[in-house]
Amino acid sequence: MEIRRESLVRVTSEADLTERESNLIEQARIAADNAYAPYSEFHVGTALKLSDGEIVLGNNQENAAYPSGLCAERVAIFAAKANHPNKSIDEVMIVVKTDKALKQGFTPPCGSCLQVLWDVQNRQNSPIKIHVQSPDKTLYSVDNVNQFLPFGFEL
């Protein structure tokens, strides 16, 4: 027996963004500018669009007692679920600002963030779109978390 899952990642430019996506990306850029990343110099901002259109921001927060910090995605997700528990997360926009070379051109959310997104997506029983803008302004998008994490952990 074989189980195979493939990922489809759309690659677009900033010129191809919808007005909604442009607004989300601008909010995520502001969040990235406010990230606290003196150790990694890897500034990440996240803008979540909730089911009612409200935007929740998050950014990475590092700490000298590494790894006590937290990724931008989980900061935003936990804030959204703490303050808006009955609203679903429809879309996630992630902006990465760094001068470091990225091996694959962009940085999808880390495994821990993907697992949290995967769990939320399953609980709300609706897909979460994820967009990641690389430092060169290219946008990488998937229609649901399963494209980045095809086999999430579940009990």
Catalytic residue, candidates 2, 26, 41, 73: 73
Contacts of 91 (CB under 8 A, 6+ apart): 24, 48, 49, 128, 129, 130, 131
Q: How far is CA 96 from the centre of its chain?
A: 10
In the numeric block, which tokens belong to residue 133?
A: 């803008």
Indicate the residue type of 83: N
- Angle at which helix 72-83 crosses helix 19-33, to 10 degrees, equals 110
- Separation between Cα atoms, residue 100 and residue 144, nearest integer Å: 27
User: Which residues 6+ apart lie within 8 Å of 40 measured at CB?
Assistant: 60, 62
Quote the tokens at residue 130.
Answer: 């994820």
User: How far is the C-alpha of 114 from the C-alpha of 146, rounded, in Å?
Assistant: 9
Q: Is 14 a catalytic residue?
A: no
Active site residues: 73
